Amino acid sequence: MRVMNSVRSKMVVIFASLLIVTILIVGLFAYSVARRSLLEAVRADLDSHVQQFYTFLKANPDMDFDVIEKLCNKDIVIGKSGFIFIVDTKGNLLIHKKAQGENWASKPHIREIITKKKGKIRFISPKTHTYKIASFKYLEDFDWIIVASAFENDFLSTPRKRLMAGLGSVGIGVAIAGALIIFLFTNLLIKPLFVVASTAEQVASRADLTQKVKILSHDEIGKVAEAFNSLVDSLHGMVLDVRVNAEKVTSASQQISSSTEEVNASIQEISSAVQQINKGAIAQSKRVEETLQILETSANSLKQVGKNGEVINRKMGEVREQAEKGQSSAEEAAGKITQLSDTVIGTAEVMKVLGERSRQIGEITGTITSIADQTNLLALNAAIEAARAGEAGRGFAVVAEEVRKLAESSAEAVKEIGGLINNIQTETNKAVSAIEVSTEEVREGKNRVVDIAHLLVEITRRVQEADDFLREMTAAINQQIQGIERVVGAVGEVATVAKQTVGTVEAVTASVEEQSATIEEVTTSAQELARLAMGLREGISKFRLREDISKFRLKENN
């Protein structure tokens, strides 16, 4: 709503300013034309009075001076206070209502009249300091200059009032019509922009990516709405891909964790079996030195060892298969995390572009603020000029004050917009920082999965070595069973072999313990990967997608 009000305020200020300026120009032009016409009529009236008095004196050269004086001072009145007076070429006021007998040759307007002797002049009255108009003509028979003068305001005051009243009525009518037109036009122009702003606010505040702007026009604002819809669609697809990949990572990490638990259990069984083998080998070494009567017992023990070796061999095969599966799962998880990393980086680039657009909008609001300040300064200068004009500029002063207030309102609105843009830039920067942190965490998860894959490769290799060794050991035990009858003559050799077997079993035990520790590390890494994937899914679940609405409706129908 603030966006709508601020834009509407700017448009109202612009159109209102144009309307006011137009009314003022038309009014000033009409007043100037009317004033010029009235002054021409006044000059013509003064010329007529001078010509009539000139003709009268020419026709009556012997008329008594007192009669002429009476005509000038009492009988002839021009306008409200205009009159005819007579001055000679030396500046003596021969006939004058207020200064008869004085010499005004030093006064500028009298000096100009004496110099020209015929014509018209406009001058400022020495007493009232207002403009007067004079028409004069030289009468050679008496060396007189007949002058008819009158104040401009005597003829302009009443028409001026009527004209100002008429212009005021017209101005009010035009202002009302213009205000209605401005209101309708701004509503028509601002409504689509308000729809875009409202939808963008819902997307930003609720993370609702199901919102779409209804395109009401195909102008620039319609293109903005279309671009916004495209942006929401792109973000929708991006979030959906991240959600799917996060679910895949979670599933893969769970599989790895399950596989490592199975491998760990198998290794524990192998360790137990190896310990049993170790005990049997020690017992065998001791009993070799005993009498031949216990050789049968030794043979039975060797048979049991052979069976245990076969069990161990089978278990080792299972361990190798599980390790290979874990390696494949780890490689697949690394690939998925790479895709997730690319998606997060793309999101960071989009957020940076959004921050740049916010910064450009901030520069535009700065320009608008500068324009509003300049408008305020112009309104102040206009008010000063109107004050200098006095009463005639009072109306213009009121208009200038209104313009100044509107400029201040515009500046305040732009400041509010600037504040909103700064908040948007701050939130965008926070989002970019959060995405960069997520990118680093995803990259770390990828490295851990790669390490898991390497460890699983090493486990596979070690298990293969142990399996080969057990196969060899089983074959040796079978040979010992087949040659039990010859054991009596080879007791010394059997003792040596028994000692070697003890050392080898101890080495196998140490190797199994190392493998057990490695599997525990793999399990821990898989659990950490699952935790990170779960956190990513929780973050993505804040976005509302169209697929979520479809699932919800499907559940309701069922």
Task: Examine the domain organization and report whether 136 and 282 are in the same domain.
Answer: no
Tell whether 493 is covered by a domain: yes
Task: Examine the domain organization and report whether 492 and 344 are in the same domain.
Answer: yes
- Rounded to an integer, the average pLDDT of 63-71 is 85
pLDDT at 1: 45
Statement: residue 3 has pLDDT above 50: no
Taken in order 424, 429, 430, 432, is the CA torsion positive or negative? positive
Task: Examine the domain organization and report whether 129 and 249 are in the same domain.
Answer: no
Task: Examine the domain organization and report whether 387 and 278 are in the same domain.
Answer: yes
Task: Examine the domain organization and report whether 153 and 256 are in the same domain.
Answer: no
Task: Examine the domain organization and report whether 472 and 399 are in the same domain.
Answer: yes
Task: Examine the domain organization and report whether 418 and 331 are in the same domain.
Answer: yes
Could you tell me the residue range of the domain that residue 169 belongs to?
A: 2-182
Q: How many CB atoms lie within 10 A of CB 49?
A: 21
Q: Hey, what amino acid is at 333?
A: A
pLDDT at 344: 63
- Rounded to an integer, the average pLDDT of 305-317 is 66
Statement: residue 444 has pLDDT above 70: yes
Per-residue b or e along 133-164, where b marks 16 or more CB atoms closer than 10 Å to that residue's CB? bbbbbbbeebebbbbbbbbbbbbbeeebeebe
Task: Examine the domain organization and report whether 300 and 162 are in the same domain.
Answer: no
Task: Examine the domain organization and report whether 274 and 160 are in the same domain.
Answer: no
Tell whether 285 is covered by a domain: yes
Q: How far is Cα 448 from Cα 440, in angstroms, rounded to an integer?
A: 12
Q: Residue 301 belongs to a domain with what CATH number?
A: 1.10.287.950
Tell whether 240 is covered by a domain: no
Task: Examine the domain organization and report whether 148 and 293 are in the same domain.
Answer: no
The strand pair at 144-151 and 131-139 is best described as antiparallel
pLDDT at 135: 94
Q: Which of 205, 196, 245, 207 is nearest to 548 (CA)?
A: 207
Q: DSSP assignment of 367-425, as one string? A: HHHHHHHHHHHHHHHHHHHHHHHGGGGHHHHHHHHHHHHHHHHHHHHHHHHHHHHHHHH
Statement: residue 295 has pLDDT above 70: no
Average confidence score pLDDT of the chain:
73
Give the rounded percent of residues in the chain with a pLDDT score beyond 90.
7
Q: How far is Cα 184 from Cα 108, in angstroms, rounded to an integer?
A: 59
Tell whether 359 is covered by a domain: yes
Q: How far is Cα 396 from Cα 366, in angstroms, rounded to an integer?
A: 29
Tell whether 376 is covered by a domain: yes
pLDDT at 103: 92
Count structural domains, the chain: 2
pLDDT at 278: 65
Q: 86: which strand partners?
A: 95, 146
Q: How far is Cα 26 from Cα 29, in angstroms, rounded to an integer?
A: 5
Q: Residue 102 belongs to a domain with what CATH number?
A: 3.30.450.20
Task: Examine the domain organization and report whether 171 and 296 are in the same domain.
Answer: no
Q: How far is Cα 258 from Cα 432, in angstroms, rounded to an integer?
A: 35
Most confident of 63-72, 395-404, 469-478: 63-72
pLDDT at 119: 92
Task: Examine the domain organization and report whether 59 and 170 are in the same domain.
Answer: yes
Tell whether 101 is covered by a domain: yes
Q: Which residues make Cβ contacts (< 8 Å) with residue 520, sequence separation at least 6?
A: 264
Identify the band that residue 448 occupies on the pLDDT scale cut at 50, 70 and 90.
confident
Contact of 78 with 84, CB cutoff 8 Å: yes
- Rounded to an integer, the average pLDDT of 337-363 is 69
pLDDT digits (tens, 9 = 90+) for 517-549: 777 777 777 777 777 777 776 766 666 666 666
- Rounded to an integer, the average pLDDT of 467-491 is 65
Which of 136, 162, 182 marks a domain boundary? 182
Give the rounded percent of residues in the chain with a pLDDT score beyond 70.
57
Tell whether 218 is covered by a domain: no
